[in-house]
Amino acid sequence: MKFGAIFTNNNSKSTGETLYLVFFRIAIALFLIAHISAIYADFDYLFGSGSLIPNQVTNFYLGSYDMSLLRWSQYFGWDIDFTFQLTLLLFILFVLFLLVGLFTQPSAFLLLVLHISIVKTNTFFNYGMDYFASICLFLLCFLPSNVSFSLDAILFHKKIDGLRARLDFPIIRKYMGIFMCIAYFFSGFDKLLGYNWRNGESIWKTFTLPYSNLDFNLQLEWLADYPWVMIGMGWFVILQEIFYFLINHKPLRRFWLIGIVCMHLGIALILNLYFFSAIMIILNLTTYYDFEGKLKGFQTFGKSSELKPQS
Amino acid sequence: MKTLGVFIFLIMRLYKLLFLIVFVLTISVNVRSTITSYTEFYYEDKADTLLTGNTLLCATNFILENPIATFLSHTGLDTGFGFFAPNVASEYITEFKVFSKDSILLQKTNFPLFRVKETGTRVKSAYLMFEAYLNQRPDSMDIKKCDIFLKGLSTRVLLDTERSAYVTSNVYLYHHPLLSQLKADADMKPIYTMIQSKTYSRNEVWGHLYK
């Protein structure tokens, strides 16, 4: 018995169709582990009792229904530091559940609650990545990302086999694609409205912001002599985002996907926004990477190896 | 088998409905954010008047009402996706000079000591609030918020430096020459405009940060 079959129940025709959801679940779980590990050392500066902006100040700006660790601690009457430690512990526990696909949707829901509670504790320190992490967790609350490669698929195999065989996975992927098209359209359209994006100044400004390009310290000053490069890059970003929906046209998909991934790698390289870039790349690959094709290629390769005559 | 079929049918309908809600809300949030950022960028002085009378903006007011507002806030869907648009915002630089009791300069730094890079990224994202020093009344809530943040940063720098007695904290608006400015003057240097300067002594440090 092949190892993979334990997790996938390989006899199902639709395993390939579900791979994008499996990738999404596992990639987001790994992403969250990496991110929480990255901020753990300075957690107190950001969201703890020793925060650079006291949590009580942020609390003033929160809506009455918003969750935050400060509010949880006040609600339960717990010490604030105990609340932080408990939240982190639960966060790691449910991320591991999500990773292995155990009680996947409830785990994603609880993770969303914990994630929102953490980031709302000090909203001033939030940036784009936090919003996309919340969106991804929200999607994982109801998407069937546990139908393959998950402990749920073993524990509840009867129900999940039935679901996997009959759910329309391609249409769910299309819905995710529409969401991405809307997001990129507005991102590109808002840039188009800014004259500085059209004349290359915004790209130049991005390169020369005092806190960008600190990690690799690329020498970019010489680009000032070639403004057309920045104009070209500005238009490339605008057009790539506004016309992102063209990625749905199969012959263009590979090029558009490479282009958008390169753009996010550029953001990581220049603006050093690694986690933001990573989550956007995960979303793009989830929605448009050809996992099924790769799986078929892998299986064909396996079969041809088996049939190869012994010399 | 028939029950399962009905269940699947209902689940697929539910997905359709959920995504439809997500699409409508995402479009509404982004239309709102596009109109707001465009108006505030191009018509800064009369933005409030223009925004109040904007029909499309008014049509999306429903997203500000509960429970929709709460739903958006708890799912991350309350954000507009026009990052760095329509204009890449200017950045602010902090400078902390830490002195001993004898006024000897012990340290000059731009940030408190962060153990990880991601903390710097997050803290820098809060620096945008320093814009209030440029365009808000001194007694406004935004200025008070900035003062609290600056004091938090300063306190941390002060506590991280041995033998420190007080810290002078400066906030600068950073302007790098634009392409058009470099065209006119290739030797133009970056401009640092000081927009706030404060001094904090150890006596003023927040007690809860002593740990």
Q: Which residue of A has its CA nearest to B84?
A: A191
* B39 min Cα distance to partner chain A (Å): 10
Contacts 24+ apart (CB under 8 A), A95-99: A95/A29, A95/A32, A95/A33, A95/A36, A96/A29, A98/A25, A98/A28, A98/A29, A98/A32, A98/A140, A99/A25, A99/A26, A99/A29, A99/A30, A99/A33
For residues A219 and A98, the model is more confident at A98
Return d(Cα A193, Cα B87) in angstroms, integer: 9
A to B CB pairs, distance under 8 Å: 209
- Residue A124, Cβ neighbours under 10 Å: how many? 20
**pLDDT tens column, A16-30:** 788 999 999 999 999
Name the minimum distance, in Å, from the CA of A119 to any CA of chain B: 10
User: Does the N-terminal peptide bond of residue B86 adopt cis geometry, omega within 30 degrees of 0?
Assistant: yes
Q: What is the pLDDT of residues A18-64, one digit of tens each?
A: 899 999 999 999 999 999 999 999 988 898 888 899 988 999 998 88
B91/A200 CB distance under 8 A: no
Which chain B residues touch A135 with a CB distance below 8 Å? 75-77
| Identity of the residue in B5, B79, B114 whose CB atom sits nearest the CB atom of A42 | B114
Q: How confident is the model at residue A74 (pLDDT cuts 50, 70, 90)?
A: very high
Mean pLDDT computed over A71-94: 93
Q: Please state the rounded mean pLDDT for residues A79-106.
A: 94
Of B41, B76, B120, the CB nearest to A132: B76
- Which residues share a beta bridge with B169? B96, B198
Query: Greater confidence, B211 or A147?
Result: A147
Contacts of A55 in chain B (CB under 8 A): none
Nearest residue of chain B to residue A124 (CA atoms): B126
B-chain residues within 8 Å CB-CB of A224? Answer: 179, 182, 186
Min Cα distance A17 → chain B (Å) is 16
Q: Which of A121, A126, A248 is nearest to B83 (CA)?
A: A126
Q: Which residues of B touch A65 (CB under 8 A)?
A: 66, 70, 73
The string of pLDDT tens digits covering residues A232-276 is: 999 999 999 999 999 999 999 999 999 999 999 999 999 999 999
Contact B152 A191 (CB under 8 A): no
The answer to whether the CB atoms of A206 and B206 lie below 8 A apart is no
**Phi, psi torsion values for A142, nearest 5 degrees:** -125, -10
Q: Where are the domains of chain B?
A: 2-75, 92-209
- B87 with A138: Cβ contact below 8 A: no
Q: Do A193 and B38 touch (CB under 8 A)?
A: yes
- What is the C-alpha separation between A188 and B83, in angstroms, rounded? 9
**Averaged pLDDT, A132-143:** 96
Q: Could B123 and A230 be called an inter-chain contact, meaning their C-beta atoms sit closer than 8 Å?
A: no
Q: Which two tokens stand for residue B174?
A: 């950073």
Per-residue pLDDT tens listing for chain B (211 residues): 677 778 788 888 889 999 999 999 999 999 999 999 999 999 988 888 989 889 999 999 999 998 999 999 999 999 999 988 888 888 999 999 999 999 999 999 999 989 888 999 999 999 999 999 998 888 899 999 999 999 999 999 999 898 999 999 999 999 999 999 998 998 899 999 999 999 999 888 776 665 5
CB distance A133–B77 less than 8 Å? no
Conformation bin of residue B106: beta by default, left when phi > 0, alpha when psi is -120 to 50: alpha
For residue B95, what are the β-bridge partners? B170
Angle at A223 between CA A219 and CA A229, to 5 degrees: 130
The B residues from 75 to 114 touching A (CB cutoff 8 Å) are 75-88, 91, 93, 112, 114
Q: Which pLDDT band, with edges at 50, 70 and 90, does A10 fall under?
A: very low
Which region among A213-227, A295-309, B39-53 has the lowest average model confidence (pLDDT)?
A295-309
Contacts of A168 in chain B (CB under 8 A): 12
Chain A residues whose beta carbon lies within 8 Å of the beta carbon of residue B124 = 211
Residues on chain A touching B85 (C-beta within 8 angstroms): 187, 190-191, 193-194, 197
The distance of A188 to chain B (nearest Cα, Å) reads 7
Q: How far apart, in whole angstroms, are the C-alpha atoms of residue A16 and residue A12?
A: 9
State pLDDT tens for residues A154-198. Answer: 999 888 888 888 888 999 999 999 999 999 999 999 999 999 999
- Environment class of residue A115 by beta-carbon count within 10 Å: exposed (0-12), middle (13-18) or buried (19+)? buried
User: Band of the pLDDT at A112, cuts 50, 70, 90?
Assistant: very high
CA distance B105 to chain A (A): 23
Question: Residue holding tokens 């420190």?
Answer: B164
Q: Which amino acid is it at A240?
A: Q
Task: Give me the pLDDT at residue B1, please.
Answer: 61
If you count DSSP H runs as helices and E runs as strands, how many of each does chain A have, helices first? Answer: 17, 0
Q: Which of A242, A29, A303, A305 is nearest to A145 (CA)?
A: A29
Percent of chain A topping pLDDT 70: 92
- Which pLDDT does position B151 carry in this prediction? 94
Q: What is the ipTM of this complex?
A: 0.91
Residue A309's pLDDT band, with cuts at 50, 70 and 90, is low
Amino acid making up residue B176: H
A135 vs B41, B75, B121: nearest CB:
B75
Chain A partners within 8 Å of B11 (Cβ): 163, 167
Q: Is the CB of A186 less than 8 angstroms away from the CB of B78?
A: no
Question: Are the beta carbons of B91 and A209 separated by less than 8 Å?
Answer: yes
Q: How much is the pTM?
A: 0.91
B180 at interface of A, judged by CB pairs closer than 8 A? yes
pLDDT averaged over every residue in chain A: 89
pLDDT score recorded for residue B209 = 61
Q: What is the pLDDT of residue A5?
A: 45
Does residue A300 carry a pLDDT above 80?
no
B118 interfacial to chain A (CB closer than 8 Å): yes
- Give me the residue from B81, B86, B122 closest to A193, CB to CB: B86
Out of A52, A116, A193, the one facing B152 most closely (by C-beta) is: A52
